[in-house]
Every structure is written in structure tokens, then in C-alpha cells.
Amino acid sequence: MIREFTLGEAWFLVEAVRWTVLLAALAFVGGSVMGLMIAVLRISKRPPLRAAAIVYIKVFQGTPLLMQLYLVYFGANLLGLQANAWLAAALGLTFYTSAFLGEIWRGCIQAVPRGQWDGAQALALGPLLGLRLVILPQALRIAIPPTVGFMVQVLKGTSLASIIGFTELTRAAQMVNNATFRPFIVYGLVALLYFLLCWPLSAYSRRLERQLDPVHLAPKKLAVQ
């Protein structure tokens, strides 16, 4: 039976935004923690650690996010965990986010002048303490614009969770479309909702980048799909 597309359906879509935002937030928090570890491993003095981080980044940046989600989804199943779209989507997006943030932040850490490391050493700070107290606070400043920019990629990436059955905005759109069969209105509205989430972040990231530009040479922002 075909229903009309009414305000009720539109509101259902607007409400589904919260799952998209929640999933993106989970992925971003998890991805930040892991991403920082990847970035630190990536600049480690020990070649095996560095190599492991490089392989991790290459694999996650060189394969489709959809495949990563499938593998986590079916892989969890093999490990005896019940196939759970929530878990798979959050975990898969976390891995994906960590690889990109790890690489972005490595660039930011390495953009801090070498003299600062020497300074930290002169203050008798060990490598980890020097990283935390001297390097990271300075790297943070240049890391903010590309990081905010990447949040847009995470938000857009959550749409793929709909394919493994996680009900967020895109999946809600499929449900509404199946009931009303008004694809142009449904997906048009959904595109608008994504745009309203992403565009302010994009604009904010660009503004921050411009503010920083004369002071620092910000690392080239990765143009991601």
C-alpha cells in the first residue's frame, strides 16, 4: 500500500538525523583515540612500529569503506559475536577514521619545528612527555582545520552503515521511500539534511584554515570523497 508523503514522514527523516550524528560522534571519538596512537606509532623511532602504522594506514586508505564495514560485520560473526549492525558500523567507521586522522595528525606533528623536540629534551622531558607537553599543543593548532574538515567525511561515511542494516538517515529514507514511493522528494530532503549537517563544518574548517594560513603552512587537506 502506498502512503502519502506527509509532514509525518518528513519528521521521521529529521528524527533519524540523531542516529547519523550519534554514529558519527562514536566513530569520531573512537577514531581520535586510535588515530592519535597511529600518528605516534607512525613517527616512532622503531622501524617495525613505524612499518605497522604505515601498513595500517595504507590498507584502510586503500580499500573501500563499504568493504571494511562488511568485513567487520561478518568478521564479528565469525568470532562468535552476534552480527550487530550497531557494533559493526561503529567499529568499522572507527578504524576508517583512525587511519585518516592518524595520517593527518602525523603531518601536523611533523610540522612542528625540530627545535621544539630539542627544547623538550633540554628540559629533561622524555619523548612521551615532551610529545604531550611541548609538541602536541602546538600541533593541535594546525590540526584543527583538517580535522574539522575530515568530520564531514565521517558524517558522509555513516550513510554506508545503512547498507549493513543500521538505521540512520539513509536507511530511514529507504524505509520512507518504500512506503511512499516518492524518491525524488525523499532523497532530496535527505540530501538537504546531510548538507545542513556538513556544510557548516566545511565552512568552519575553511575559515580556520584561512586564519592559520599566514602563520603556518597548514598541511594540504586531503580531498576525500
- What 8-state DSSP symbol labels residue 220? P
Residue 117 grid coordinates: 623536540
Least distance CB 30 / another protein (angstroms)? 20
Report, in Å, the least distance between residue 119 CB and another protein: 33
Q: What is the 3-state secondary structure (H, E, C) of 117-150?
A: HHHHHHCCCCHHHHHHHHHHHHHHHHHHHHHHHH
Does residue 206 bind another protein (CB under 8 A)?
no
- CB atoms inside a 10 Å sphere around CB 84: 16
Using CB under 8 A as the binding rule, whether residue 156 contacts another protein is answered as: yes
Residue with cell 594540504: 220
- Among positions 12, 86, 117, 187, the unique one binding another protein when judged by CB under 8 A: 187
**Residue 64 in contact with another protein, rule: CB under 8 A:** yes
- 177 touching another protein, by CB under 8 A: yes
**Cβ closer to another protein: 141 or 221?**
221
Cα–Cα distance, 209 to 30 (Å, whole number): 25
CB of 158 to another protein, least distance (A): 8
**Considering only residues 70-99, where is the footprint of another protein by CB under 8 A?**
70-71, 74-75, 77-80
Do residues 154 and 198 touch, judged by C-beta distance below 8 A? no
Pick between residue 141 and residue 182 the one whose CB is nearest to another protein.
Answer: 182
182, with CB counted inside 10 A (0-12, 13-18, 19+), is middle
C-alpha cell, 159: 550513510
CA pair distance 22, 4, nearest whole angstrom: 29
> Does 59 participate in binding another protein (rule CB under 8 A)?
yes
Q: How far is the CB of 162 from another protein (least distance, A)?
A: 7
The site for another protein (CB under 8 A) is made up of: 58-59, 62-68, 70-71, 74-75, 77-80, 152, 156-160, 162-163, 170, 173, 177, 182-184, 187-188, 190-191, 194-195, 198-199, 202, 220, 222-225
